[in-house]
Amino acid sequence: MGETISVNAKDGGAFDVYLAKPTASRRPAPGVIIIQEAFGVTTWLKDITDRFAAEGYVAAAPDFYWRFAPNFAAGFDDEEALATARRHLQTIDHAAAVDDIDATSGALKSMDECNGKIATAGFCLGGTLAYLAAVRLDIDAAAAYYGTQIHEYLDEGSNLTCPTLFHMADHDDFIRDEDVKEIFQALIGIPNLAVWTYDTGHAFANWDRPGAYDEELAEKAHARTFAVFDKLKQD
């Protein structure tokens, strides 16, 4: 359904972006930047990017590992690749990744199919980056699915001005209970922020993750995301 394009980075070089456009003929649509888990631009990430395109968005999934492992994607049945993904998770520079989000945003805005509105939707690593984009960039909405490092950037929460959703799992083994409490204490009450919790575990939105996917709750989270993002389709 989609294609791979190249986007120029702010600090030189270029990176690949998987791009999927709405299938039906519509007026210009919002752009949504889909932000990867630790495992790279996997088949599932492309599929969920296609899903957002089918919902009427110009959806783009950048390769955030391009500086040190271009086009890396780990299969969930490959233990060696999964170990490599965990190392990449420790290597990625969050500030540079936000710059890549900004560059991707500029590329989307230059497309005739895009109406100039930009949202981010990220998963795990991507959940943190979606939040950082919301507090650091001029974007229009964000959805952070089980972001595992948001608690490290709570001092930036006051910069959150666009409509933002957190989709958090009640039984997430990748974030400590005390870190979740910090998030609630620091950010609850900030205008435009909605925090949703789900009686499930980490990665519940990924249908390629064995034992993690919860279709009912994933669809509930997506419906809430689309309800916010759809407002960007309005004139």
Biggest CA pair distance of the chain: 48
| Mode of pairing for the β-strands spanning 114-123 and 141-145 | parallel
Query: Is 202 an active-site residue?
Result: yes
- Please pick, among 88, 151, 167, 202, the residue that the annotation labels catalytic: 202
- In one-letter notation, the amino acid at residue 199 is D
The model's pTM is: 0.97
133-165 confidence digits (pLDDT tens): 999 999 999 999 999 999 999 999 999 999 999
pLDDT in tens, 87-108: 999 999 999 999 999 999 999 9
Domains of the chain: 3-233 (3.40.50.1820)
DSSP assigned state of 3:
E
Cα 129 from Cα 121, distance rounded (Å):
9
Chain segment 54-86, per-residue pLDDT in tens: 999 999 999 999 999 999 999 888 889 889 999
Q: Is the sign of the CA dihedral 18, 232, 51, 206 positive or negative?
A: positive
Catalytic option among 172, 179, 199, 235 = 172
pLDDT score of 25: 63
Q: 151 catalytic, yes or no?
A: no
